[in-house]
Structure 1
Amino acid sequence: MNVERKSLGERARVHAALGDPARLAIVDALLVGDAAPGELGALLEMPTNLVAHHLKVLQEAGLVVRGRSEGDHRRTYVRLVPETLATVSSSPLDDVPRVVFVCTQNSARSQLAAAIWSRRSHVPAVSGGTRPADRVHPRAVKVARRHGLDPSAWRTAQVAEIAQPNDLVIAVCDIAYEHLPADARPRVHWSVPDPAPADTDAAFEAAYDEIAGRIDRLAPLVSPAGENRSRSGA
């Protein structure tokens, strides 16, 4: 009985936290990507003190967590906790011609993301870097093969040379997100820790799991370009 009461209490706190329109708007904004509190305020036209209040409530309910940027250490990013948010859905992203995954060196996270995405969605995916390395990280190749992906054709590329205006740009690291050119829109941010500094198989596996989980949540919301028009004309 005590376990049941605790479970009901936790569920009630989540429902109460989501019962405010402003907090629900924050959750909707965070569903496909992470954001700094200031970015949420600008997006939702909400003063910083209100953003701080609502984030505190969401954090206490276990719906969001904060993490410090690996780039600008003064910044923090807010992310959703998917286990707590299992029943929350969002409006789909329609008419997406292509997804471009970006990290700094295009040597691990973005390469893995594009490969995983290609297994989960009919929308094409490529990857690039803001400061691409000369080669893909060997541990990224190793973890890809361990999960049945084929990294034989992976090559690093400069994101500015491959991104197009209508692409859905997804930055899978803080540094790349903070250095994306202003015209790289639309964009989504996933604050995935860089596995390279640890340089262990476990770190690269953790990055793979994080990216795969986020793709599993986002891919069903993304429709290929022209799909809706085809349906409406049918």
Structure 2
Amino acid sequence: MSLSDAAELLDVHKSTALRILQTLEAARFVRKTGAGTYVFGSGLIELSELTLGSMDLRQHAGGLLRDLQRRTGHTVHLAQLIGDEIIYVDKVDSPAFQAVQLPSRVGHAVSIYASAVGKVILAYLPRQERDRLLSHVVFERYTPTTFADRDSLEVELAGIRQRGWAVDNGEHDSYVMCVAVPVRDSRGQTVAAISVTAIEVVATLAKLEENLPLLFATARDVSAEMGHSA
């Protein structure tokens, strides 16, 4: 459609319609043709592929996540990088201490810098992609342990790459402890993360870290389902 068509459809001034179309064009959701009209862009194709990918990942991982929950006794999350956000695509709740519910929800975005799953995915992204994602972030200090600036976060991410796993030491919600490891696809790229999570009165961070061998084994199995060969 033309700029005039878009303005009429949206019932806004042409200048407003132009700003909207320019924003969509920058994200590659629309593309301007040589004739000056706008058509759907490749970004929509990528978005649909990412959505299908998240569905496939959840299907492949479901049984493995439930087995991990039974063996650890703690809540298990699967989070995936979808577009510019890290989204919980599956969650297996722990029956322990049901009086306090974890704030996570399937389909909701997780803090990209104040969570174990967010940090482990960030740590393994190419620098250019990491810079792009973090350029949208407004750092906040949620708790005393939050990595609330880019420099301290980069030090933390380097440590994650060195040891191969991430922790959340109450960095968004002070009572939530978590450990996470990466999930890789057929190209060897980190596309998701699996975590074991508990509130601190149920398990300290040190106790959760005792589950790392099981967590790594599960991540290897999920990665293998995604075509990754170690």
Shorter-chain TM-score bucket reads: under 0.3
The TM-score normalised by the length of structure 1 is: 0.27
Larger Rg, first or second structure (1 or 2): 2
Q: TM-score, normalised by structure 2?
A: 0.28
Q: Which has the higher contact order (CA 8 A, sep 6+)?
A: 1
The structure whose residues are more often strand, as a share, is 2
